């Protein structure tokens, strides 16, 4: 057992489930992170779900968005692409509602990557929007550290370079609100 998981397990025992529920949620999150890093996705997922439930219970929207992100990635790596899309879109909407532009843009990028195999054109439009929004914000988080293929790279296997560039250019004209609405449309059309 690695140090991170051991410490998280010890903290969970010390805090208990009933006296300090908010702290328990953060401990569950630490345990989930440790398990996910070790590749034990089946064990990590219920801990992410439990920690998310506690964050929502305490109204900690920022932490809930962070947990949604981790849960979406966990579910994606488990192979449930459709559920990963749903969770990522939920994170996009919550981050946009909270006016957290950087998280919303990052989650749009993640959502685009998740839908790229089923909807390469729309995914590239979203990726183009992400590129422009990230540029306007002066930077932001990238997908590379998450071991998730970028939507544009995935779509390039399915689309001609002309179609790819056209979709990318269309996406770059979207503002955040338009990109979020477009992501909802894409979600509704992808099965």
**pTM given for the model:** 0.85
- Give 144's contacts (C-beta < 8 A, 6+ positions apart): 150
Residues 58-71: tens digit of each pLDDT: 899 999 999 999 99
Copy the structure tokens of residue 73.
Answer: 């990635």
CA–CA separation, 140 vs 119, rounded Å? 24
Please say whether the dihedral angle defined by the alpha carbons of residues 97, 100, 103 and 105, taken in this order, is positive or negative.
positive
Copy the structure tokens of residue 94.
Answer: 């919550």
Residue 11 has pLDDT above 90, yes or no: no
Query: Residue 144: its pLDDT value, please?
Result: 67
CA–CA separation, 72 vs 95, rounded Å? 14
CA–CA separation, 185 vs 179, rounded Å? 10
CA–CA separation, 89 vs 119, rounded Å? 15
pLDDT-above-90 percentage for the chain: 73
Residue 160 burial (C-beta neighbours within 10 Å; 0-12, 13-18, 19+): exposed
Whether the Cβ atoms of residue 132 and residue 103 lie closer than 8 Å to each other: no
CA–CA separation, 168 vs 56, rounded Å? 35
Among the listed ranges 47-56, 77-86, 145-154, which one has the minimum average pLDDT value? 145-154
Residues 139-169: tens digit of each pLDDT: 877 776 677 888 999 999 999 999 999 999 9
């Amino acid at each position: 057992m690695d140090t991170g998981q051991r410490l998280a397990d010890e903290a969970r025992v010390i805090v208990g489930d009933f006296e300090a529920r908010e702290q328990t949620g953060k401990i569950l999150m630490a345990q989930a992170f440790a398990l996910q890093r070790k590749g034990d996705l089946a064990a990590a997922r219920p801990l992410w779900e439990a920690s998310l439930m506690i964050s929502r219970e305490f109204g900690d929207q920022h932490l809930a968005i962070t947990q949604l992100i981790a849960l979406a990635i966990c579910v994606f790596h488990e192979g449930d692409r459709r559920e990963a899309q749903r969770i990522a879109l939920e994170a996009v909407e919550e981050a946009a509602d909270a006016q957290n532009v950087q998280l919303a843009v990052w989650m749009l990028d993640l959502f685009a990557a998740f839908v790229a195999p089923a909807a390469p054109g729309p995914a590239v439009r979203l990726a183009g929007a992400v590129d422009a929004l990230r540029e306007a914000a002066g930077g932001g988080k990238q997908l590379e550290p998450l071991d998730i293929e970028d939507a544009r790279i995935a779509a390039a296997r399915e689309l001609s370079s002309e179609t790819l560039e056209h979709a990318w250019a269309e996406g770059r004209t979207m503002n955040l609100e338009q990109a979020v609405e477009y992501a909802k449309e894409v979600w509704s059309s992808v099965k």
